[in-house]
Amino acid sequence: MTNQPTYRTGLGTSDADSITLLGHDLASELLGKISFGELAFYLIAKKRPTKGQLVMFEAVLTALADHGFTPTAIAARLTYASAP
């Protein structure tokens, strides 16, 4: 295709026909083959996680599902404030 813009970032490239993340084609190499947690770790660390790293990373993502650290931080603060 001619006159189509191409977009490049530190993580990948895209054009009218493909999206590439860290050298892998999104449609043919990543979709349906890795989990969201694995892709997020890969994009952050720029390396594939080990099984242990993936388990821990996905546990952290799950723990943050209550909208971040704020609710647990408030609970800790209130517990500490009411302690004798």
DSSP class per residue in 28-70: IIITTTS-HHHHHHHHHHSSPPPHHHHHHHHHHHHHGGGTSSH
* Domain membership flag for residue 2: no
Residues (pLDDT < 70) of the chain are 1-2, 66-72, 83-84
First to last CA, the chain: 71
Neighbours of 42 (CB within 10 A): 19
- Distance, in Å, from the CA atom of 47 to the CA atom of 58, rounded to the nearest integer, reads 16
Give the range of the structural domain holding residue 12, as residue numbers without chain letter.
7-82
* Domain membership flag for residue 1: no
Domain total for the chain?
1
- Distance, in Å, from the CA atom of 63 to the CA atom of 55, rounded to the nearest integer, reads 12
Identify the pLDDT of residue 70: 65
Provide the whole-model pTM: 0.64
* Domain membership flag for residue 46: yes
* Domain membership flag for residue 77: yes
